[in-house]
């Protein structure tokens, strides 16, 4: 990584270095450079120069490097886990899940990038292209920028770099200034596996560094808040470069009267409290059918009360780690305080935990109403508001009454009914009798509707966003072109419309 003191447009308000804290203790653990616009531009020039040779390796050639990364993830699990824990504050157990994702993603894209981006033969019935060969093929964008958040320092940062690399791009990663150290460790991994120089680089820094990257790259993958995502989308729109946005959420859970309540409670606890609630797809509000409301609240209460809050010192030593980003404590406190002032009850917790670090007591809220901030705004913390509803229709209406549309969960033993409800929900992903597990099925696209984003990660869409598409039409030398020019002759109009109707269907029954 280059950090020369090239000409800088950094304002005096932006520091030259950023301090990274351990949120469990509040101690500063490292300082990182806050790269200037010129330094970012220099990284992009190098990445651009390195990209053609990387692309020329082909899918198999690039897959060999991804396989080495897969092995490095396995061999260095403990080290990566501790790095994630130290800068993010999540438990050791949850940090390990991120490393597992690294193993999964590097092996998945090594195996599938070539399949998703292979040339596709297209057949057409159109009389205008009779006998021609039609193809779709893909070319890497060039230099891709990945800008990531602090809640998953590996999963939502280097995790998105892997498919961009597999597609043949050079990639520059701008991790969150709050948790940049895991990304620097990924740069070390790339060196260790012999990745060609400058194919991957980390641009550490704050918002200005990210904004500079947006100005330079050929395509952008952004994960973060809706507010920043909209700004970045605007600039990418002006530059006319492709952008994929994975943004915030306010994921609803619907519990119907026929649900397996024990399992619903266990999984909802996990999905609400995973990473201390700092997960874009964490369960943020629950709607429970009236007949089972009291029982479900009782099951959730006992589970919330049993959680151990505190710094994780090894596997199984803590259920809820610290909040990562200092302002999160204020947001979580405000949502809880306002809800209680407006008539809700904090059945458990409700306060910042005294002592060092940024810990908040796991808080179950009842007596909430749909207009409260805790039901409308992304909380991103260890809280869960639960609301009683009359029936599934009311639950669906309230679930959809949100600016967000990332993910939703439905609990019912009748999976046909569950799928019917899924069709009515405005969410990029719906899990029926489950939560979060979809993220680990990389064949399944994951992306948000409404304010939750544009585009998707995973599946074929998760790599095709990193390429330019080219359509190819081949007319062989000497091939007869009977139809060439024919559509423009008035006398052929009738013949052609009949032919089109024969090939694609007749315009009968056009009455409404
Ligand atoms: P954020 O928007 O504050 O910052 C995200 C990244 O953008 C950081 O690296 C930041 O430095 C950079 N940035 C900020 N301003 C910028 C600008 N003007 N130009 C370019 N870059 C800029 O988000 P955050 O607080 O780090 O992350 C939390 C948010 O991320 C939550 O809303 C969460 O739901 C969302 N998230 C979404 C997903 C998903 O897959 N949908 C996954 C994880 C997190």
Q: Is residue 320 within 8 Å of 273, Cβ to Cβ? A: yes
Closest CA relative to residue 84, chosen from 74, 98, 73, 71: 98
Task: Give mean pLDDT, residues 53-77.
Answer: 98
The predicted structure's pLDDT at residue 500: 86
The predicted structure's pLDDT at residue 506: 85
* Interval between CA 362 and ligand 1 midpoint (Å): 24
The b/e string for 358-386 (b: 16+ C-beta within 10 A; e otherwise) is: bbbbbbbbbbbeeebebbbbbbbbbbbbb
83 is written with which tokens?
Answer: 């790095």
Q: Kindly name the residue from 94, 177, 236, 280 that is annotated as catalytic.
A: 280
Query: Which of these ranges, 88-97, 244-253, 312-321, has the smallest mean pLDDT?
Result: 312-321
* Interval between CA 147 and ligand 1 midpoint (Å): 8
Q: Is the pLDDT of residue 11 over 70?
A: no
Q: Is residue 52 within 8 Å of 23, Cβ to Cβ? A: no
Residues with CB under 6 A from ligand 1: 147-152, 156, 174, 176-177, 206-207, 210-211, 214, 223-225, 228, 231-232, 246-249, 280, 378, 380, 406, 448, 453
Which atom of ligand 1 is the closest one to the Cα of 246?
41
280 is an active site residue: yes
For the whole model, what pTM was predicted? 0.95
Separation between Cα atoms, residue 360 and residue 20, nearest integer Å: 21
Q: Kindly name the residue from 87, 246, 284, 311 that is annotated as catalytic.
A: 246
The b/e string for 304-335 (b: 16+ C-beta within 10 A; e otherwise) is: beebebbbbeeeeebbbbbbbbeebbebbbeb
Which atom of ligand 1 is the closest one to the Cα of 149?
26
Q: Which residues on adjacent β-strands are paired with residue 383?
A: 363
The three-point CA angle 480-486-489 to 5° equals 155
87 alpha-carbon distance from chain centroid: 20
Which atom of ligand 1 is the closest one to the Cα of 227?
2
311 is an active site residue: no
- One-character DSSP codes across 424-452: H---SEEEES--SGGGG-TTS-B--EETT
For residue 195, give the DSSP letter: P
Q: Is residue 12 within 8 Å of 164, Cβ to Cβ? A: no
Q: Where are the alpha helices (DSSP H) in 178-260?
A: 181-192, 207-216, 226-239
Closest CA relative to residue 83, chosen from 154, 156, 33: 154
Q: Is the pLDDT of residue 390 over 70?
A: yes
pLDDT per position as a tens digit, 154-212: 999 999 999 999 999 999 999 999 999 999 999 999 999 999 999 999 999 999 999 99
pLDDT per position as a tens digit, 222-243: 999 999 999 999 999 999 999 9
Q: Is the pLDDT of residue 12 over 80?
A: no
* Interval between CA 412 and ligand 1 midpoint (Å): 34
Please tell me the residue having the least CA distance from ligand 1 atom 34: 248
Q: Is the pLDDT of residue 374 over 60?
A: yes
Please tell me the residue having the least CA distance from ligand 1 atom 30: 224
* Interval between CA 248 and ligand 1 midpoint (Å): 9
Total number of residues shown for the chain: 512
Q: Is residue 160 within 8 Å of 148, Cβ to Cβ? A: yes
Mutate which of 228, 236, 283, 429 to test ligand 1's pocket (most atoms within 8 Å of Cβ)?
Answer: 228
Separation between Cα atoms, residue 119 and residue 137, nearest integer Å: 5
pLDDT per position as a tens digit, 101-119: 999 999 999 999 999 999 9
* Interval between CA 208 and ligand 1 midpoint (Å): 13
Which atom of ligand 1 is the closest one to the Cα of 206?
11
* Interval between CA 223 and ligand 1 midpoint (Å): 5
Which atom of ligand 1 is the closest one to the Cα of 176?
9
């Amino acid at each position: 990584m280059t950090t020369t003191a090239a000409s800088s447009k950094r304002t005096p308000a932006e520091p030259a270095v950023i301090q990274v804290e351990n949120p469990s203790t509040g101690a500063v653990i490292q300082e990182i450079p806050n790269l200037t616009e010129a330094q970012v531009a220099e990284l992009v020039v190098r990445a651009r120069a390195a990209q053609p040779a990387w692309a020329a390796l082909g899918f198999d050639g690039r897959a060999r490097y991804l396989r080495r990364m897969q092995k490095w993830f396995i061999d260095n699990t403990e080290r990566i886990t501790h790095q994630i824990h130290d800068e993010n504050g999540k438990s050791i157990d949850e940090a390990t899940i991120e490393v597992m994702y690294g193993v999964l993603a590097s092996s998945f894209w090594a195996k599938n990038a070539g399949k998703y981006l292979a040339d596709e033969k297209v057949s057409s019935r159109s009389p205008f292209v009779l006998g021609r060969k039609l193809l779709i093929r893909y070319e890497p964008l060039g230099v891709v920028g990945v800008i990531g958040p602090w809640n998953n320092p590996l999963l939502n940062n280097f995790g998105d770099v892997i498919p961009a690399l597999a597609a043949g791009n050079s990639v520059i990663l701008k991790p969150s200034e709050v948790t940049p150290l895991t990304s620097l460790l990924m740069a070390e991994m790339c060196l260790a596996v012999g990745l060609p120089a400058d194919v991957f680089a980390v641009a550490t820094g704050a918002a200005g560094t990210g904004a500079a990257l947006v100005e330079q790259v050929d395509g952008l993958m952004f994960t973060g808040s809706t507010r920043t995502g909209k700004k970045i989308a605007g600039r990418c729109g002006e530059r006319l470069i492709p952008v994929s946005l994975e943004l915030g959420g306010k994921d609803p859970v619907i519990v119907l009267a026929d649900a397996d309540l024990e399992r619903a409670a266990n999984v909802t606890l996990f999905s609400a409290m995973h990473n201390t609630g700092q997960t874009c797809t964490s369960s943020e509000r629950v709607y429970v059918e009236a007949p089972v409301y009291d029982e479900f609240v009782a099951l959730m209460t006992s589970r919330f009360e049993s959680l151990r809050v505190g710094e994780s010192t090894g596997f199984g030593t803590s259920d809820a780690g610290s909040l990562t980003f200092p302002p999160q404590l204020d947001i979580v406190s405000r949502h809880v305080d306002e809800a209680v002032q407006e008539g809700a009850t904090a059945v458990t917790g409700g306060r910042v935990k005294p002592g060092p670090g940024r810990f908040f007591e796991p808080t179950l809220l009842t007596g909430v109403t749909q207009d409260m901030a805790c039901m409308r705004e992304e909380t991103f913390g260890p809280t869960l508001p639960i609301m009683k509803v009359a029936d599934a229709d009311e639950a669906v209406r309230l679930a959809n009454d949100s600016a967000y549309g990332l993910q939703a969960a439905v609990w019912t033993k009748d999976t046909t009914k569950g799928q019917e409800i899924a069709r009515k929900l405005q969410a990029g992903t719906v899990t029926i009798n489950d939560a979060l597990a979809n993220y680990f099925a990389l064949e399944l696209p994951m992306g948000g509707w409404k304010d939750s984003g544009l585009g998707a990660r995973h599946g074929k869409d998760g790599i095709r966003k990193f390429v330019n598409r080219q359509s190819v039409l081949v007319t062989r030398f000497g091939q007869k072109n009977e139809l060439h020019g024919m559509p423009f002759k008035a006398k052929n109009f009738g013949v052609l419309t009949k032919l089109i109707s024969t090939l694609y269907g007749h315009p009968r029954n056009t009455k409404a």
